[in-house]
Amino acid sequence: MGEHTFKSFMIDKFGSSNFLNHSTICLQTAVSGYALTIGGYGGADLENAKYIIMAGANRAEAIVTPDTMDIFKRTRGRGARLIVVDPRYTNSAMHADRHIPIKPGTDLAFVLALTYVAMKTEIYNKTFVENNFNEFERYKEHVLGNKYTPEWAEKITGIPASTICKIAHEFMAAAPQAIYYQGRRTTWAKNDFQLRRAMALFTAMGGGIDIKGGIVFGKKLPLGDHEINAPLYANAQPRIDKDEAAVIGATGSWVGWRNLVTDGKPEYPIRGMFVYKQNPMLAVPDSARTRRMFEKMDLVVVIDTMPSDTAMMADVILPECSYLEREDPVKSFPGVEPAIALRQKVIDPMYDTKPVIEIMRGLGKKLSNPLWEITKKYDEDVQMELEDVENEKEYFKEGGFDLAEPYLHSQQEINKHMVVDEYGEDAWLFLRKNGVYYPDIESYFKKRSNNEYTYYPEHKRYYSVLKREGEVDDQGTVDEFCDSCDDCVNPEDISPQKRKFKTPSKKIECYLGTMAKKGVDPMPTWKQDEYVEVPYGKFKFITGRHAQFTQTATANNIMLLDIMRENYVWINDQEAQRLGISMGDMVEIKSSVGKVHIKAYPTPKIIPRTIFYIHGFGVKSDGQTFAHRNGASDNEIIEPKIEPVFGSAIMHDTLVTVKKV
């Protein structure tokens, strides 16, 4: 939650254009694909969905949350049908109604074939499509014309054509309460943006958008502003990675940016780096190259709670206190049942650690005057304006050049202002006492049993929030519309209604003309040359995370290590036998950029020519005494490839060799 504080300092106050966060090694293509297609990423209403296709997501192990429990309580004939599509037979697959193995990197072909079946047999929701799709006939002609048939997809994915037909028919029969789950994973292959678009369009063809049991946008409760008075730097340079992909946003392309630095090709030299809430040495593909990036810097400053592998590359470490020793920024969580949450400290910071807001305050005080002198020396606009200014100190303050100014108040004072401005003093006191607040919480919240609670009455939940044509005028509000809804309304009855989506056409976008101008396919398209084939004797490496570990941040937690001491590499048991590999044998996995040693787990629960091990291990920092050299890091062997639309790191296209050592 403190990332906003760090980001506001580095971008708004300090003026760096080269800000990088985790988005391009996380959900960038998924979020953007859905946003450009249906107007938002949305959330999957797993509690009420009747049919879910969950591809490549392993919620039973990776995201153990209340809504995860909601879906697994209802599978196997108890109200919902779950289809897990994954190269591995995971715990999620074990609790699903059906597991469908798939070759990594072929998901787009699978979704296009599902779409083909729905279009060819006309089992999609025609009324919803007619009312809410833009350029649907063009997309239909594209899919049918390219003959994305189940038989075509079978040769690519390994999924039988009959299975694809069956899944398509079952999905549309359950729609609109049917979801092709958006996922919480990173970019898998070069075509990942097109995959996410195809997934969104397939769900939408069933009418499962902005509806109970489908993809829901929900509501976000507003908070008061904490304004940042940002100075204007006349000679600020653009991002060095601005041309690394078709669309480079404010958070950049991690791999593209790093590669420019290591290859010595940036438009101007990058000499220093501040790192916060990231561990690039273990989180960014090609760890050896990341090390070379840090070694090229004149100054590396790391803010961390742990002596991570990245902290060990730092010239200066600014130790942050843990979440138990600080108050975090108040957070508004959107959804069907929106709420405001506050995480407060339990004890005062120990040793010489500080919360990030105090670190930014201290940096601001130290840097403001030296940076101001540099600004006066080189910024011609400031020089001209100072000629007509009588009081330089007032100009300095009013112009936002005091870098510490936004961070002078404590986080608690800022949080109070943001809550009280919107909801009043009583809401603030309730939030501090209970940790969670939303309007009417005292009347809405009910305890049903020792393990079950009602947070919002059914008719007050924000399942459908988009304005419907003819039902909400320009003065109407979402709240007023939702209050008028009968909680017994059948989603199938209201799903086809015409909505106003948050897209340029106010409809679901099949064809993206703006992307075509950037050289990106305007409609989901399979390109065989983008698919990485696996030659005999090699394997395609895939990775994932486990709920017991928060990426690499908890790698040194001894209690979690008691549950899982190290990671093992999954390898198909028949291939392991051919290679003379048995359970627990040490094996070497080698790619074009690195190699690791890790213990083997031969199993029939993974398809041939594919290996897997989880992220979060392989720590090399001897400062983390419990985690040191447990298992292997995935990013030591993942090749530094990026997809062409947003510059996101491709995580599942690396070919490796495996041998017993």
The whole-number pLDDT of residue 418 equals 97
DSSP 453: E
The whole-number pLDDT of residue 605 equals 98
Q: Report d(CA 584, CA 589) in Å as an integer.
A: 14
Q: Report d(CA 192, CA 362) in Å as an integer.
A: 42
The whole-number pLDDT of residue 495 equals 59
The whole-number pLDDT of residue 220 equals 96
pLDDT tens readout for residues 62-95: 877 777 877 888 888 888 999 999 999 999 999 9
Angle at 598 between CA 594 and CA 599, to 5 degrees: 160
Name the average pLDDT for the chain. Answer: 92
pLDDT confidence tier of residue 493, bands split at 50, 70 and 90: low
pLDDT at 486 over 60: no
Nearest residue to 25 (alpha-carbon basis) of 648, 613, 652: 648
- Concatenated DSSP letters of 520-566: S-SS----GGGS----TT-EEEEEE--TTS-TTTTTT-HHHHHH--S
Q: Is 169 exposed, middle or buried (0-12, 13-18, 19+ CB in 10 A)?
A: middle
- CB proximity list for 201: less than 8 A, separation 6 or greater: 37, 115, 139, 508, 510, 524
pLDDT at 48 over 50: yes
My answer on whether omega of the bond before 176 falls inside 30° of 0, hence cis, is yes
pLDDT at 128 over 70: yes
pLDDT at 475 over 80: no
pLDDT at 142 over 80: yes
Helix residue spans in 435-543 (DSSP H): 441-444, 478-483, 491-494, 513-517
pLDDT confidence tier of residue 599, bands split at 50, 70 and 90: very high
pLDDT tens readout for residues 369-419: 999 999 999 999 999 999 998 899 999 999 999 999 999 999 999 999 999
Q: State the average pLDDT over residues 139-166.
A: 98
pLDDT tens readout for residues 229-243: 999 888 778 999 999
The whole-number pLDDT of residue 369 equals 95
pLDDT tens readout for residues 218-230: 999 999 998 899 9
Residue with the larger pLDDT of the pair 71 and 1: 71
The whole-number pLDDT of residue 494 equals 53
Whether residue 482 contacts residue 464, with contact meaning beta carbons closer than 8 Å, is answered with yes
Whether residue 217 contacts residue 208, with contact meaning beta carbons closer than 8 Å, is answered with no
Amino acid (1-letter code) at residue 428? W
pLDDT tens readout for residues 260-269: 999 988 999 9
Which range, of 317-331, 491-505, 523-537, 647-661, averages the lowest pLDDT?
A: 491-505
Q: State the average pLDDT over residues 177-192.
A: 91
The whole-number pLDDT of residue 517 equals 95
pLDDT confidence tier of residue 574, bands split at 50, 70 and 90: very high
Which domains does the chain show, CATH number per domain?
3-21+238-407 (3.40.50), 28-213+502-517 (3.40.228.10), 467-500 (no CATH), 534-660 (2.40.40.20)
Exposure b/e, 504-537, CB count within 10 A at least 16 = b: eebbbbbebeebeeeebbbbbbbeeebbbebeee
The whole-number pLDDT of residue 499 equals 87
Residue 118's SS3 state is helix
Q: State the average pLDDT over residues 326-351.
A: 96
Strands (E), 166-209: 178-180
Q: Which two tokens stand for residue 390?
A: 């009588």
Whether residue 634 contacts residue 235, with contact meaning beta carbons closer than 8 Å, is answered with no
Q: Report d(CA 305, CA 275) in Å as an integer.
A: 12
pLDDT tens readout for residues 535-573: 999 999 999 988 777 788 889 999 999 988 999 999 999
